[in-house]
Amino acid sequence: MAKIALLERKCSGCGQCRSVCPFGAVDWKDNRPELNAACRVCGLCVKNCPEQALIRLETRESSVEKNKWKGILVFAEVSGGRLHPVGLELIGKALELAEVCHDPVLAVLVGSGVRDYAEELRHWGVSQVYVYDDPARPGSGRTRTQPAWKNVSGTRAPALCWWAPQASAVPWRRGCPPGSIPG
């Protein structure tokens, strides 16, 4: 991410930066330029400053080791006393993808009294099932499932996650902004 910084000791207060800014992002305060939120870091002010008092700073994003992302994580939901068919359909698609990318298929199962369904998921080809069986969390919904989803996806670091809230599949990829848990 880049930003423009002012070297105050070099600034003569000529106002050239303000006159060349196409976004009106240079305010004047105490006879010195001050960049506001309209700045798009285009660099015109930097190029046109006769005193070279404005500089462009680049910050490097920390690199992500994508080779550590392994597995396809599917959220499986129990509805009406059985595994929801959309979750099973997603597991089928995940298994097809797993053949190509050679990654294991993982599942998250959350709710009250769902532990027995883990074996059924293994029967369908899931390599590992993360069960969050909590009697205090009956029913369904994002608030019930989000803590488990965050825990597994953050700890396990899957390459791809599938979530099927209300019978509509939503793919989610690592690297999405924090808090962008599907649901």
Q: What is the CATH number of the domain that holds 86?
A: 3.40.50.620
Q: How confident is the model at residue 147 (pLDDT cuts 50, 70, 90)?
A: low
Q: Of the candidates 168, 135, 132, 137, which has an alpha carbon nearest to the alpha carbon of residue 149?
A: 132
Q: Which domain holds residue 42?
A: 2-58
φ/ψ of residue 19, rounded to 5: -75, -25
Return the bridge partners of 35, or none.
26
Q: How confident is the model at residue 142 (pLDDT cuts 50, 70, 90)?
A: very low
Q: What is the pLDDT of residue 143?
A: 47
Are 13 and 82 found together in one domain?
no
Over residues 111-122, mean pLDDT: 86
Question: With 80 as the cut, is the pLDDT of residue 110 above it?
Answer: no
| DSSP strand pairing (82-83 vs 78-79) | antiparallel
Are 87 and 119 found together in one domain?
yes
Question: Where are the alpha helices (H) located in the chain, listed in sequence order?
Answer: 16-20, 44-48, 85-101, 117-123, 142-156
CA distance 168 to 89: 11
Are 122 and 141 found together in one domain?
yes
Q: Which domain CATH number covers 30?
A: 3.30.70.20
Helix (H) or strand (E) segment spanning residue 35: strand 32-35
φ/ψ of residue 58, rounded to 5: -110, 130
φ/ψ of residue 57, rounded to 5: -105, 135
Q: pTM for the full model?
A: 0.51
Lowest-confidence segment of 27-31, 46-50, 93-97, 145-149 by average pLDDT: 145-149
CA distance 157 to 169: 20
Is the residue at 180 inside a domain?
A: no
Q: What is the pLDDT of residue 8?
A: 92
CA distance 139 to 126: 23
| Percent residues over pLDDT 70 in the chain | 70
